[in-house]
């Protein structure tokens, strides 16, 4: 009996030590790599670590609600905070994969721009999916119709390996007005129309997954045009002095949000970081590295004037864009991803 009691105590002690070790791990924040994450790291993660003494470990991902599901189903995944796209935020919230947030702990709703506050997420960045092109091979500013015109502009094109944004661009190229894109895409005939348009350039398409790839594809000469995140293109032009062009007209705008996985053992630390991330001072430095729209209501007045023109929230850049319809993608992401996978494999 004494031996059994000793073994039981030893076992309990071992479990306690393991649990303590698991709960005491570093705070891990996950974003999308490249200059996008570099901006977040320089403006937010590193200053937060210096100010609080809380160690922040960074990781990267290429998005996907399936990734979040897998991470959460296994218990503590090693991730705490994730930079999620809009439909990932909504679906993960509905499925209970991420925590509802107490906005008062993050500075209050008035601290943020309109649309940046969600039950389960807080705005991380506003950005556009734009058309980027090689000026040495494309003489005039192209449209999405030109992107699909192989006779006018021969050469390969690149698109993200996902139905989201590509189906919209296909319909825009096919003449659908911005105001009607999701109305058309909500019908079986509209989906068929989008895929039929993609068929016209399928043999000349290259697909990208990571945000840095479009600029690499342009720089190598493999493609003449590509879809891309606006910040990657602007940095390639302004910092790397590449002969590239950016087309804001008929681009797609959306926002990313910070979310906390429900399996995180570091919820209090995560709240501390997200509160800091929403403050005007750190946010005002984000455009210095990456021209992304910021979500702090006060930070816009602190951004250097010469940087404002490259932001997606600048009036000239925002006047003819389409807001990505989150509700549409929440309802259709699984079915359209399956069809996209089938189409891509053919």
Q: Are residues 210 and 229 in the same domain?
A: yes
Q: Mean pLDDT, to the nearest integer, of 133-143?
A: 97
Q: Are residues 83 and 138 in the same domain?
A: no
Q: Are residues 119 and 76 in the same domain?
A: yes
Look at residue 215 in the predicted model and tell me its pLDDT: 98
Q: Is the pLDDT of residue 6 over 80?
A: no
Burial class (CB in 10 A: 0-12, 13-18, 19+), 101: buried
Q: Is the pLDDT of residue 343 over 70?
A: yes
Q: Is residue 314 part of a domain?
A: no
Domain span at residue 93 reads: 2-124+257-305
Q: Mean pLDDT, to the nearest integer, of 332-341?
A: 95
Look at residue 249 in the predicted model and tell me its pLDDT: 97
> Using one digit for the tens of pLDDT, what is the confidence trace for 59-69?
999 999 999 99
Q: Mean pLDDT, to the nearest integer, of 330-346?
A: 95
**Eight-class DSSP state of 41:** I
Q: Is residue 310 part of a domain?
A: no
DSSP assignment of 70-134? HHHHTS--S--EEEE-HHHHHHHHHTT-B----GGGGT-GGGB-TT-EETTEEEEEEEEEEEEEE
Q: Is the pLDDT of residue 39 over 70?
A: yes
148 or 86: which leads in pLDDT: 148
Look at residue 204 in the predicted model and tell me its pLDDT: 98
Q: Mean pLDDT, to the nearest integer, of 114-128?
A: 94
Q: Are residues 211 and 328 in the same domain?
A: yes
Look at residue 318 in the predicted model and tell me its pLDDT: 87
Look at residue 117 in the predicted model and tell me its pLDDT: 95
Q: Are residues 177 and 324 in the same domain?
A: yes
Confirm if 190 and 208 have CB atoms less than 8 A apart: no
Q: Are residues 48 and 67 in the same domain?
A: yes
Look at residue 3 in the predicted model and tell me its pLDDT: 41
Residue 147: band (very low, low, confident or very high) from pLDDT cuts 50, 70, 90: very high
Look at residue 114 in the predicted model and tell me its pLDDT: 85
Q: Are residues 78 and 151 in the same domain?
A: no
Q: Mean pLDDT, to the nearest integer, of 108-120?
A: 93
Q: Are residues 243 and 327 in the same domain?
A: yes
SS3 248: strand
> Using one digit for the tens of pLDDT, what is the confidence trace for 278-292?
999 999 999 998 898
Segment 274-277 long-range contacts (CB within 8 Å, at least 24 positions apart) = 274/81, 274/101, 274/106, 274/122, 275/105, 275/106, 275/107, 276/44, 276/47, 276/48, 276/51, 276/52, 277/44, 277/48, 277/122, 277/124
Q: Is the pLDDT of residue 325 over 60?
A: yes
Q: Is residue 56 part of a domain?
A: yes
Look at residue 58 in the predicted model and tell me its pLDDT: 98
> Using one digit for the tens of pLDDT, what is the confidence trace for 310-323?
999 888 898 899 99
**Whole-angstrom distance, CA of residue 299 vs CA of residue 282:** 8
Q: Which has the minimum average pLDDT: 101-105, 172-176, 295-299?
A: 295-299
Q: Are residues 222 and 248 in the same domain?
A: yes
Look at residue 2 in the predicted model and tell me its pLDDT: 42
Q: Give me the number of domains the chain comprises.
A: 2
182 or 75: which leads in pLDDT: 182
Q: Ranked by mean pLDDT, which of 9-18, 243-252, 327-336 comes out on top?
A: 243-252
Q: Is residue 285 part of a domain?
A: yes
Confirm if 169 and 144 have CB atoms less than 8 A apart: yes
Q: Mean pLDDT, to the nearest integer, of 139-165?
A: 97
CATH, residue 331: 3.40.190.10
Q: Is the pLDDT of residue 12 over 60?
A: no
Q: Are residues 179 and 118 in the same domain?
A: no
Look at residue 60 in the predicted model and tell me its pLDDT: 96
Look at residue 184 in the predicted model and tell me its pLDDT: 99
Q: Is the pLDDT of residue 52 over 60?
A: yes
Q: Mean pLDDT, to the nearest integer, of 205-225?
A: 97
8 or 123: which leads in pLDDT: 123
Look at residue 14 in the predicted model and tell me its pLDDT: 37
């Amino acid at each position: 009996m004494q031996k059994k009691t000793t073994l039981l105590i030893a076992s309990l002690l071992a479990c306690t030590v393991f649990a303590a070790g698991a709960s005491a791990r570093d705070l891990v924040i996950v974003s999308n790599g490249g200059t996008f994450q570099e901006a977040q790291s320089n403006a937010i993660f590193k200053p937060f670590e210096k100010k609080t003494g809380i160690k922040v470990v960074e990781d990267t991902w290429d998005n996907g609600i399936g990734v979040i599901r897998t991470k959460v189903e296994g218990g503590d995944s090693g991730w705490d905070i994730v930079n999620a796209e809009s439909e990932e935020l909504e679906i993960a919230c509905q499925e209970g994969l991420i925590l509802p947030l107490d906005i008062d702990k993050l500075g209050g709703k008035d601290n943020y721009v309109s649309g940046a506050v969600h039950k389960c997420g807080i705005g991380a960045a506003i950005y556009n999916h734009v058309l980027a092109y090689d000026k040495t091979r494309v003489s005039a500013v192209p449209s999405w119709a030109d992107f699909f015109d192989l006779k006018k502009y021969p050469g390969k094109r690149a698109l993200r390996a996902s139905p989201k944004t590509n189906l919209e661009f296909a319909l825009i190229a096919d003449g659908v007005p911005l105001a009607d894109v999701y109305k058309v895409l909500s019908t079986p005939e509209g989906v068929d129309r989008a895929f039929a348009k993609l068929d016209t350039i399928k043999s000349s398409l290259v697909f990208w997954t990571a945000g840095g790839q479009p600029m690499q594809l342009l720089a190598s000469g493999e493609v003449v045009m590509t879809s891309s995140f606006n910040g990657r293109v602007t940095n390639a032009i302004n910092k790397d002095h590449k002969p590239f062009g950016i087309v804001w007209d008929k681009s797609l705008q959306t926002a990313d949000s910070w979310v906390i996985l429900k399996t995180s053992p570091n919820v209090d630390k995560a709240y501390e970081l997200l509160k800091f991330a929403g403050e005007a001072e750190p946010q005002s430095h984000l455009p210095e590295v990456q021209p992304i729209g910021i979500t702090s209501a006060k930070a816009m007045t602190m951004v250097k004037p010469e940087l404002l023109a490259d932001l997606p929230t600048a009036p000239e850049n925002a006047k003819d864009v389409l807001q990505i319809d989150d509700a549409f993608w929440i309802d259709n992401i699984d079915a359209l991803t399956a069809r996209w996978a089938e189409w891509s494999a053919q």
